Amino acid sequence: MYYHHLGRYPHKRHVIFRKPDGGLYKEHLIGEEGFSNHATLAYHLYEPTRIRKVDDTPENVAPRIAVGNNFRPRAFYSFNVKTSGDPITARRPLMVNDDVIMGVAAPDQSMKGYFYRNAFADELLFIHEGSGTLHTILGKVPFRKGDYLVIPRSLLHWIEFDGDRGRFLYIESYSPIRVPERYLTRYGQFMEHSPFCERDIRPPVELETFDEKGEFPIKIKRRNEMFTYALDHHPFDVVGWDGYHWPYAFSIYDFEPITGRIHMPPPIHQTFEGRNYVICSFVPRLYDYHPESIPAPYNHSNIDTDEVLYYVEGEFMSRKHVEEGMFSLHPMGVPHGPHPGAVEKSIGQKETNELAVMIDTFRPLQLTEDAVNVEDPHYYLSWIEDSSNKK
Ligand SMILES: [Fe+2]
């Protein structure tokens, strides 16, 4: 993201840095793309390589695909997905392709007795309900409803919800999750036209450093399998770090909408991007102010995009039957647009209170059994007025 630091570290990299007992702190570079992109240099009490145990029989957590080649507009009610467990085990994938896995989780337990890292994907959690703390080896990131939590791949962490309960949308990204390049200067500062900036990004605030020996299990997700290994010391033993590679929170309520006299297209809502996908935030905003403007969107053919909307709260102007936690999916090759009556109804309206997250993928999404099980089977008919009330 940008340069940040916590705790203690030596005045130069790769020099002597001693503990009070005379031993050396263990230096650890955590870097992206080999040594060719953002990195953080951390200092541990113990070598992060001190593996005590490896379990070679991974748990299969592959999404169970129900629809491999989808062409139909669909809607799912994610609050009806059966999910329970802790913030890792409660996850239920709904839509997947070779770039992302997206799903939901409503944990009702805390993470006990293990740490977690995703060795293959950056993770983005959008907190729909609840608050808590993301605990990482680089420090704590407190979170609350409306936050996007960005967790770089391989970062060891655990997630704590206040009261052990919460609800979130998650995206596993097989490429780094970035803010759009066009918001940044060539050296990485947010520019004036960006809808958010460094002041809205919340980096880790406090290191948790433990000096404990024992057996500390870590679950590692690699693609569709979950491995377990154990270190011989508490893995949260970092005394300091500096660099550009760290987890952070950004609240959707801090996204400053861009408005215009006539309808502005979805790229103005863009918040994140990865390889072959973008993530946008639709937030409460004033509508277009040309005297003859039509605030509702126009029909469009997303010719090379599968378009996913996740509805968070408020009234969504262009669609009927929208519920909190509903997903709509409009696949490439099939035009889509406002529901009957929505265009007329939008004329003259001054503002919207809609809150939604959009994920557009540039390669087709497959649907899991969990998605199909909570689907509205008549959604694709809902642009024909007399059948639009079937559900
Ligand atoms: Fe659209």
pLDDT in tens, 86-132: 999 999 999 999 999 999 999 999 999 999 999 999 999 999 999 99
Query: pTM for this one?
Result: 0.96
For residue 130, report the distance from its CA to the centre of ligand 1, in Å: 29
Residue type, 280: C
CB 64 within 8 A of CB 369: yes
Q: Is the dihedral of CA 29, 32, 37, 39 positive or negative?
A: negative
For residue 337, report the distance from its CA to the centre of ligand 1, in Å: 7
Q: What are the chain's domains?
A: 256-387 (2.60.120.10)
For residue 358, report the distance from its CA to the centre of ligand 1, in Å: 9
For residue 299, report the distance from its CA to the centre of ligand 1, in Å: 8
Q: What is the per-residue pLDDT across 21-76, written as a single tens digit (0 to 9) for each? A: 999 999 999 998 888 889 999 999 999 999 999 998 999 999 999 999 999 999 99
For residue 278, report the distance from its CA to the centre of ligand 1, in Å: 13
For residue 339, report the distance from its CA to the centre of ligand 1, in Å: 12
**pLDDT of 389 higher than 60:** no
Specify the 3-state DSSP secondary structure of 253. helix
For residue 300, report the distance from its CA to the centre of ligand 1, in Å: 7
**pLDDT of 314 higher than 90:** no
Q: What is the pLDDT of residue 391?
A: 40
Q: What is the pLDDT of residue 33?
A: 84
For residue 288, report the distance from its CA to the centre of ligand 1, in Å: 18
Closest CA to 204 of 271, 154, 254, 133: 133
CB 247 within 8 A of CB 204: yes
Q: How confident is the model over 138-147, as a mean pLDDT?
A: 98
For residue 131, report the distance from its CA to the centre of ligand 1, in Å: 31
In sequence order, which residues have a C-beta less than 8 Å from that of residue 224 and are 6 or more positions away?
60, 61, 62, 63
Q: What is the pLDDT of residue 57?
A: 92
For residue 335, report the distance from its CA to the centre of ligand 1, in Å: 9
**pLDDT of 321 higher than 80:** no
Residues lining ion ligand 1 (Cβ < 5 A) are: 307
- Spatial strand order of the sheet with 122-129 comes to 65-67, 366-368, 92-96, 100-105, 167-173, 122-129, 147-151, 248-251
CB 229 within 8 A of CB 212: no
Find the range with the poorest average confidence among 7-11, 34-38, 203-207, 213-217. Answer: 34-38
Q: What is the pLDDT of residue 35?
A: 87
For residue 150, report the distance from its CA to the centre of ligand 1, in Å: 25
Q: What is the pLDDT of residue 317?
A: 65
Torsion of CA 284, 289, 293, 295, to 10 degrees: 0
**pLDDT of 366 higher than 80:** yes
Q: What is the pLDDT of residue 320?
A: 67
For residue 62, report the distance from its CA to the centre of ligand 1, in Å: 29
Q: What is the per-residue pLDDT across 261-290, written as a single tens digit (0 to 9) for each? A: 999 999 999 999 999 999 999 999 999 999
Specify the 3-state DSSP secondary structure of 206. coil
Q: What is the pLDDT of residue 5?
A: 98
For residue 321, report the distance from its CA to the centre of ligand 1, in Å: 17
- Spatial strand order of the sheet with 270-274 comes to 74-77, 326-330, 306-313, 355-361, 277-282, 270-274
Distance CA 256, CA 285 (A): 9
For residue 231, report the distance from its CA to the centre of ligand 1, in Å: 47
For residue 357, report the distance from its CA to the centre of ligand 1, in Å: 12
How far from the centroid of its chain's Cα atoms is residue 206's Cα? 22
